[in-house]
Copies of this chain bind each other. A is one copy, B any other.
Amino acid sequence: MTTLGDVARGDEWIVEAFGIAAERLADRAVLASLVDRMVHELALRPVGAGQWHVFPPPGGITGMLLLAESHLTVHTFPEHGSLCLNLFCCTPRAAWPFAERLAELLGAERVTVRHLERAYARQALASR
């Protein structure tokens, strides 16, 4: 049970990564490893199995994982050498080192990260 104060806000990271080899972006096992690494290092708690969809060639992949903390999604674009990732945690937490990990795991040459605060407390109604 959350209280109605500071706890009723979360963090979302909106991530784009570029310069990744198309083969890696079309490889579900590679992406599953990325998700597993995030779950492990951030101590995320999946609720249910991940859901994956592989699109026709060039073979972009979409993956989603429901979390007790909210959700994790990833979409790949092999034809662009890029991916888009969202991590939403409904309680505050430290950021993952997205740029370092996406370089290490996928060979990303460039990573952009935007952080959004997501407030969902009743008080937010009055203060906005």
Q: Which residues from chain A sit less than 8 Å from chain B, CB to CB?
A: 1-2, 4, 8, 10, 12, 14, 16, 18-19, 47-48, 51, 53, 55, 58, 62, 64, 66, 68, 70-71, 73, 75, 77, 79-84, 86, 88, 90, 109-110, 112, 114, 116, 118-122, 124-125, 128
Known: A71-B75, A112-B128. A120 touches B86 (CB 8 A): no
With A77-B8, A128-B112 as known contacts, state yes or no: A120 contacts B83, CB within 8 Å: yes
Cross-chain contact B79 with A71 (CB below 8 angstroms): no
User: Are the CB atoms of B82 and A90 closer together than 8 Å?
Assistant: no
Alpha-carbon gap, A58 to B2, bound state (A)? 10
- By secondary structure, the A interface counts as strand
Q: Specify which chain B residues have a CB less than 8 angstroms from the CB of A55 in the assembled complex.
A: 68
Decide if B71 touches A118 in the complex (CB within 8 Å).
no
Docked-complex contact B70 and A18, CB < 8 angstroms: no
Top 10 nearest A-B pairs (CB, nearest first) are A18-B125, A82-B120, A47-B53, A80-B122, A110-B125, A64-B64, A77-B120, A53-B66, A71-B73, A19-B125
